[in-house]
Chains A and B, each alone.
Chain A
Amino acid sequence: MSRVLPAEGDLRRVIGDGDAIPDREVEGLGADELLQLYRNLVLLRTYDERSVVYHRQGRIGTYAIFWNHEAMQAGSVFALDDRDWIFPAYRESAIGLLRGMPVSTVLSWWRGHPAGWWNPKDYNLASICVPIATQIPHAVGFAWGSRLNREDTVALTLFGDGATSEGAFHEGATFAGVMKAPVILLCNNNQWAISTPLSKQTAAPTLADKAIGYGIPGVRVDGCDVLAVYEATRDAVLRARAGDGPTFIEAVSYRAAPHATADDPSLYIDPQRVEEQRENECIGRFERYLKRLGVLGDEQAAAVKAEALELMRAGISAAEAEPPADPSLVFEHAYADPPPPLLADRDELLRILGDA
């Protein structure tokens, strides 16, 4: 077994700054893969930006913004095979788009319409987890169960910095280590849990240091460097498939947008840091990298953006065209075999609604 050491203080990077920090390349990623990754990033960004607009227009409900988190989501998922499972938090609500989920499905979720609740098996994607960190044990259990089935499927779960303070993180990571579960614990450390800064979240020097306590290797990457996230996740996937167990990845960024549409970060956040982060946001960085490599041109970038915008237009139209949900659905799906009083309640409500 590899020794578990304190995480390095520096953040791993692949993308340079076009100046003092040189660009690196990631083995196995050619022009096609890089462009696919770019399309994935732009799709997520476009989804996020349009969703804020749709919210303001009253077309979706409260929405958890993930602007500048796209590199962590797209980079990590790009390192998976389709057979691998993803266990997202609400910050990753649109991660299914990377698995072919229709835009309208995700928008329906934020519209509170049942069409937004998918079958996890269709995408190997668990449901959006709202209570913080509680999806981590699910990912661990799934990975452990797959290993017991002698499959080489891995699980990826994403969660924020605040989640590492929750008991569910601790218990999930404990199980992951003991069961040698083939799971990747990807902490999206944007340094804020709504208004609570990382300094009030933990006294640990880094979040990756927490992994030591579980006997899990912890690595730190620049969360705005999509290739660094990809590379770290790919290494973790290889370890997991080889039977070497879980990896904790701390992907560090700075939250450059409100927590959600209902949040006012001006009350707590450092506007200077936000400004710096917005200038150095993850998609612009990747775009400049691709242009330095000569893989992407302006025209192509514009076409990718136009394609994503068109998908969004079609997606919101489809979501809004969903027929109104049938009230009798209230009584469906909680049980395979519903208790008789619940069926009586349903009949009574339908009678009253029918009479009204």
Chain B
Amino acid sequence: MPELLLVEAVNDALHVEMQRDESVMILGEDVGTLGGVFRATAGLQERFGAHRCVDTPLAEAGIVGTAVGLCMAGWRPVCEMQYDAFSYPALDQLINHVGRYRWRTRGRMSFPLTIRMPYGGGVRAPELHDDSPETYYVHTPGVKVAIPSTPADAKGLLAAAIRDPDPVVVLEPKLHYRTTKEDVPEGEHVVPLGKARIAREGSDLTMVCYGAMVHVSLAAAETLADEVSCEVLDLRSLKPLDEDALLASVAKTGRVVVVQEAPRVCGFAAEVAAVLAEKAIFDLHGPVVRVTGYDVPYPYWQIEDAYMPSVVRVVDAVRRVLAA
């Protein structure tokens, strides 16, 4: 098994899926000749041709909108949004069409497109290169959402997204594109949507997290290792959500901290807390506490570390839950 960086695993998934299925094509800004600003699509145009790895005009709604039409012509487009916040112009197409078109045809046509994008902060970048927009996508009916935290999952979840008959948005933690290397299965590798992963086993408290926050949670669990046994549950996909894994972990630990990088209000952590309130209230020994970004625009990068959920903030939240 080769050791790959997360971004290399994304690239590997695209190679394997384009080889496997001739209807898979890549659309995006700078994805072809350049291979993407993060090189996630490097080598694809050379290997599969300019018609299957397409440098598009700088028009996100055009990319997602034409992808809807490409699906109708039998293609399986994988759209790259260059950065998280650059995807907002495409929300019109996503909400009005991507998530609705299958329903509009009463299930008789499929729109198996994938939208993938680097997301999240901590990379000392200009404004609008740091957002965590998952809530918009999760809240859109007809659309599924996956967020890997590791290279192997980045490959496997992207493969699952591309093969899925429904539209899937995949958010890739750009902070970890090149920070971790791990063994990634060669060739076809699929991690099914809707299956969470226990990233660290524990017995006293569950940290629920996804994407970049898995790494923060793991570090916090390690910091706390001498005082409390924390389980880290990496959700991997937000829709479908693996409620069984969530409820099983909470039934075991009875205490929960949810960690999310996006602003707090109506973020995915609120959904997790609501599911626990509805289905696990009698398993809980204390309040469900959220550690999240704040209800402000993502800040200037000189002070972004104060905004991002950090190990010390997660540790503090865990101690508050334990003290409650």
A positions within 8 Å CB-CB of B: 85, 87, 114, 117-121, 126-127, 131, 134, 136-146, 148-149, 155, 167-168, 170-172, 174-175, 178-179, 332-337, 339-341
Contact yes or no, B110 A140, CB < 8 A: no
Known: A335-B102, A337-B164. A141 touches B66 (CB 8 A): yes
| A-contact bits for B71-113, CB 8 A (1 contact / 0 none) | 1111100000000000001001100110111111111111000
Whether B70 sits at the interface, judged by CB under 8 Å, is yes
Determine the distance from Cα of A336 to Cα of B65 in the docked complex, in whole angstroms: 20
Residues of chain A lying within 8 A (CB to CB) of residue B92: 131, 134, 167-168
Contact yes or no, A167 B107, CB < 8 A: no
Residues of chain B lying within 8 A (CB to CB) of residue A149: 73-74
Q: Out of B69, B93, B110, name the residue touching A143 (CB < 8 Å).
A: B69
Contact yes or no, B73 A145, CB < 8 A: yes
Task: Tell me how far the C-beta of B29 lies from the nearest C-beta in chain A, rounded to whole angstroms.
Answer: 12
Determine the distance from Cα of A175 to Cα of B79 in the docked complex, in whole angstroms: 14
Determine the distance from Cα of A126 to Cα of B104 in the docked complex, in whole angstroms: 10
Residues of chain B lying within 8 A (CB to CB) of residue A340: 194, 240, 243
Known: A134-B96, A141-B66. A120 touches B106 (CB 8 A): no
Name, among A87, A131, A336, the residue most crowded by chain B CB atoms within 10 Å (CB to CB). Answer: A336
Contact yes or no, A127 B65, CB < 8 A: no
Determine the distance from Cα of A167 to Cα of B89 in the docked complex, in whole angstroms: 9
Contact yes or no, A141 B108, CB < 8 A: no
Chain B residue with Cβ nearest A177: B57
Determine the distance from Cα of A146 to Cα of B65 in the docked complex, in whole angstroms: 15
Residues of chain A lying within 8 A (CB to CB) of residue B72: 85, 120, 126, 138, 141-142, 145
Whether B187 sits at the interface, judged by CB under 8 Å, is no
Contact yes or no, B243 A175, CB < 8 A: no
Determine the distance from Cα of A186 to Cα of B169 in the docked complex, in whole angstroms: 32
Residues of chain B lying within 8 A (CB to CB) of residue A332: 106-107
Q: Which of B29-75 contact A (CB under 8 A)?
A: 51, 56-57, 59, 61-62, 64-75
Contact yes or no, A141 B67, CB < 8 A: yes
Known: A145-B70, A145-B73, A145-B74. A334 touches B97 (CB 8 A): no
Contact yes or no, A341 B105, CB < 8 A: no
Q: How many residues of B contact A (CB 8 A)?
A: 47
Residues of chain B lying within 8 A (CB to CB) of residue A168: 61, 65, 92-93
Q: Out of A131, A145, A175, name the residue touching B59 (CB < 8 Å).
A: A175
Q: Out of B51, B56, B96, B109, name the residue touching A119 (CB < 8 Å).
A: B109
Determine the distance from Cα of A121 to Cα of B109 in the docked complex, in whole angstroms: 8
Whether B241 sits at the interface, judged by CB under 8 Å, is yes
Chain B residue with Cβ nearest A166: B92
Task: Tell me how far the C-beta of B239 lies from the nearest C-beta in chain A, rounded to whole angstroms.
Answer: 6
Task: Tell me how far the C-beta of B156 lies from the nearest C-beta in chain A, rounded to whole angstroms.
Answer: 17
Task: Tell me how far the C-beta of A182 lies from the nearest C-beta in chain B, rounded to whole angstroms.
Answer: 11
Q: Which of B99-156 contact A (CB under 8 A)?
A: 99-110, 141-142, 144
Residues of chain B lying within 8 A (CB to CB) of residue A145: 69-70, 72-75
Task: Tell me how far the C-beta of B42 lies from the nearest C-beta in chain A, rounded to whole angstroms.
Answer: 22
Determine the distance from Cα of A170 to Cα of B59 in the docked complex, in whole angstroms: 9
Residues of chain B lying within 8 A (CB to CB) of residue A85: 72
Whether B166 sits at the interface, judged by CB under 8 Å, is yes
Considering the complex of A and B, which 8 residue pairs feature the smallest CB-CB distances, nearest first?
Answer: A141-B69, A137-B65, A145-B73, A141-B66, A171-B62, A142-B69, A336-B165, A339-B240
Residues of chain A lying within 8 A (CB to CB) of residue B69: 87, 137-145, 155
Task: Tell me how far the C-beta of A216 lies from the nearest C-beta in chain B, rounded to whole angstroms.
Answer: 14
Q: Out of A131, A142, A337, name the residue touching B70 (CB < 8 Å).
A: A142
Residues of chain B lying within 8 A (CB to CB) of residue A120: 72, 105, 108-109
Task: Tell me how far the C-beta of A255 lies from the nearest C-beta in chain B, rounded to whole angstroms.
Answer: 25
Chain A residue with Cβ nearest B95: A131
Q: Out of A87, A146, A335, A337, name the residue touching B73 (CB < 8 Å).
A: A146
Task: Tell me how far the C-beta of A64 lies from the nearest C-beta in chain B, rounded to whole angstroms.
Answer: 17
Further pairs besides A137-B64, A141-B70, A144-B66: 19, Cβ < 8 Å = A117-B105, A118-B105, A119-B106, A134-B97, A137-B65, A137-B66, A144-B70, A148-B25, A167-B92, A168-B93, A170-B59, A175-B56, A175-B57, A175-B66, A178-B56, A179-B66, A333-B105, A334-B100, A339-B239
Determine the distance from Cα of A144 to Cα of B96 in the docked complex, in whole angstroms: 21
Residues of chain B lying within 8 A (CB to CB) of residue A118: 105
Contact yes or no, B96 A137, CB < 8 A: no
- Can you offer 16 A-B residue contacts whose CB atoms are under 8 A? A87-B69, A117-B104, A126-B72, A127-B104, A131-B96, A134-B65, A134-B92, A137-B64, A141-B65, A141-B68, A144-B70, A148-B75, A155-B69, A167-B89, A175-B59, A339-B194
